[in-house]
Amino acid sequence: MNGAESMLQTLINNGVEVCFANPGTSEMHMVAAMGESESIRSVLCLFEGVCSGAADGYGRMAGKPACTLLHLGPGLSNASANLHNAKKGHTPIINLIGDHATYHKKLNAPLTSDILSLANPVSDWLRVAEAAVDLPSAAADAVYAANVKPGQVATLIVPANAAWDESIQPLPAQPAPIVPKVSDAAISESVRLLTSGEPSILLLGNMALTERALELADQIVQATGTKLLSDTFIPRQARGEGRCKIERLGYFAEQAVEQVNGAKQWVMVGTKAPVAFFAYPDKPGELYPEGSSLHTLAQPNEDAEHALEKLVIALGAESYTPRKIVKNKPQSGAGNLDPVTLANSFAHYLPANAIVVDEGATAGGLCGPLSEAAEKHDWLGLTGGSIGYGLPAAIGAAVACPDRKVICVHGDGGAMYTIQSLWTMIREQLDICVIILANRKYQILQIELSRVGAESVNEKTLEMMDLSNPDIDFVKIAEGMGMQAVRAETAEQFNEAYSKAMATKGPCLIEAIMP
């Protein structure tokens, strides 16, 4: 049994079922090992950023890692932006990166590079398996590292000779990492802050956004009157009918400051104190008032549900019944397509148990708020700020949950980063409806330009944020990758295409022309 085979069997023994692959020559033995196995699904992607984004979407929905298969330093580089998102979102992922044979590296062949330096910023765990006999334990350790909650990016560099040389037997299933519980002191300090009579904020993120965690948070709100907020960018949140409501902290600091309304007592669960996405001249980066009391009830890696349960008990809040959202869909939009009519239609036809992958950016900004009382669904957000995650993440979510409809709401600018994703959706016949919001500009930049105080706004400047000239025809691009696609220029056209997509299984794309 060679190193690749023993590594792969160890991964399989430890629960890995899927590999999002874009291999090259140095990965051929890993490809051959996967070809021999019936226990791993290999999903070919046409670009490594699709692999890593898909692994992100998969990890968020499956709660366990898929692996990527990447070709040396450049393959990792192409995957890196979406690994950045995954790391910021605490998604479990295992990267398998092929490298030159150990003895070949010193020759400085064209594909030689410093993979460790490239991998370190986007990995929580990183190892080179120098020899075939190291691969089974390295694989087991990688799975363990990836499964440290909420999840970690584990990167294993596999030199070609480690893959092809004779190895030892694969390792069996290892115990899963234990999720740390919060201390009693963390609970009692939370009680003190939330019952002090001063205005307070309970801020949730990551593992504190499950259906159960939100119910517990709602009991706390009822008992204490604290304001409840979630992080702006969330890996996954249970939403819609039957779930408990939570307001999301705004992206723009001005919005956030208004939501916070001067509250100086903050209790964080599963997240850290909020900061502005970008710095702006003469504005603070912290979104909490100076002199605030910041208390972390649960770190992102700690058991958030358990912490909230203990807090509910400590506050005597068990008697409050969680106030679950009663379904109250908006009417579908009519007339012109714009962010309001589109979001209304999106929410109106959203089917129960859907998974929404959100990279809707400015044009899709109302899809979240207006679907709060729609059918129940899960929502995946852009956690690391690197655009081009949505289409790949939709692939991963659909692979993880083949019985659920995935809806990917995507800005046109971001969609062009990883547009190759459409091909894999067709190849794997995934149940994904892609909605491209085609406003034909990087609208967020046009907004940010003045906010950062860049005073000169002339035609040449605006051209650098403009996606018209030429207009992109997403219908043709999708058809070029074998995907059914339709353009909607009015709300009625959108409603027809979207409602039909929701009633039909399989991949499709709707290009919504937006102002």
Interaction with a second copy in 90-149: which residues (CB under 8 A)? 100-101, 103-104, 107-111, 113-115, 117-118, 120-122
Q: Taking a C-beta distance cutoff of 8 angstroms, is the pair 387, 411 a contact?
A: yes
Beta-carbon count within 10 A of 300 CB: 20
**Of 15, 17, 24, 309, which lies in the binding site for a second copy, with binding defined by CB under 8 A?**
24
Which one of 59-67, 357-365, 447-455, 486-494 is the stretch in contact with a second copy (CB under 8 A)? Answer: 447-455
Q: If binding is defined by CB under 8 A, does position 334 make contact with a second copy?
A: no
Through-space distance between the first and last CA atoms of the chain, rounded to whole angstroms? 59
**Of 219, 224, 383, 439, which lies in the binding site for a second copy, with binding defined by CB under 8 A?**
383
Q: If binding is defined by CB under 8 A, does position 444 make contact with a second copy?
A: yes
The residue (of 191 and 382) whose beta carbon lies closer to a second copy is 382
**Of 476, 503, 504, 505, which lies in the binding site for a second copy, with binding defined by CB under 8 A?**
476
Q: How far is the CB of 502 from a second copy (least distance, A)?
A: 23
The residue (of 240 and 414) whose beta carbon lies closer to a second copy is 414
How far is residue 56's CA from residue 89's CA, in Å, rounded to a whole number? 9
Q: How far is the CB of 162 from a second copy (least distance, A)?
A: 12
Q: If binding is defined by CB under 8 A, does position 78 make contact with a second copy?
A: yes
Question: Which are the contacts of 500, defined by CB distance < 8 A and separation ≥ 6?
Answer: none
Q: How far is the CB of 69 from a second copy (least distance, A)?
A: 9
Phi/psi-derived region of residue 435, left when phi > 0, alpha when psi is between -120 and 50, beta in every other case:
beta
Which one of 181-189, 202-210, 359-367, 459-467 is the stretch in contact with a second copy (CB under 8 A)? Answer: 459-467
Q: How far is the CB of 425 from a second copy (least distance, A)?
A: 10
- Residue 91: phi and psi, rounded to 5, are -90, 135
Handedness of CA 139, 141, 143, 145 (dihedral sign): negative
Q: How far is the CB of 46 from a second copy (least distance, A)?
A: 4
The residue (of 118 and 171) whose beta carbon lies closer to a second copy is 118
Please tell me the count of residues contacting a second copy according to CB under 8 A.
Answer: 104
Identify residue 229 by its one-letter amino acid code: L
Interaction mask 1-20, a second copy, x per CB under 8 A: --------------------
Token code pair at residue 279: 């710095």
Q: If binding is defined by CB under 8 A, does position 49 make contact with a second copy?
A: yes
Q: If binding is defined by CB under 8 A, does position 21 make contact with a second copy?
A: yes
Respond yes or no on whether the N-terminal peptide bond of residue 235 is cis (omega within 30° of 0): no
Task: Tell me if residue 443 falls in helix, strand or coil.
Answer: helix
Interaction mask 164-193, a second copy, x per CB under 8 A: x-----------------------------
In the region spanning residues 265 to 284, those forming contacts with a second copy, defined by CB under 8 A, are 272, 275-279, 281
The residue (of 140 and 425) whose beta carbon lies closer to a second copy is 425
3-state DSSP percent of the chain in helix, strand and coil, to 5: 40, 20, 40
The residue (of 345 and 418) whose beta carbon lies closer to a second copy is 418
Which residue from 93, 82, 81 is spatially nearest to 124, judged by alpha carbons?
A: 93
- Residue whose entry in the numeric block shows the structure tokens 């690391």: 384
Beta-carbon count within 10 A of 315 CB: 19
3-class secondary structure per residue, 228-242: EEECCCCCCEEECCC
Cα dihedral angle (230, 232, 238, 244), rounded to 10 degrees?
A: 40
Strand 377-380 to strand 237-239: parallel, antiparallel, or no bridges (unpaired)? antiparallel
**Of 192, 482, 504, 505, which lies in the binding site for a second copy, with binding defined by CB under 8 A?**
482
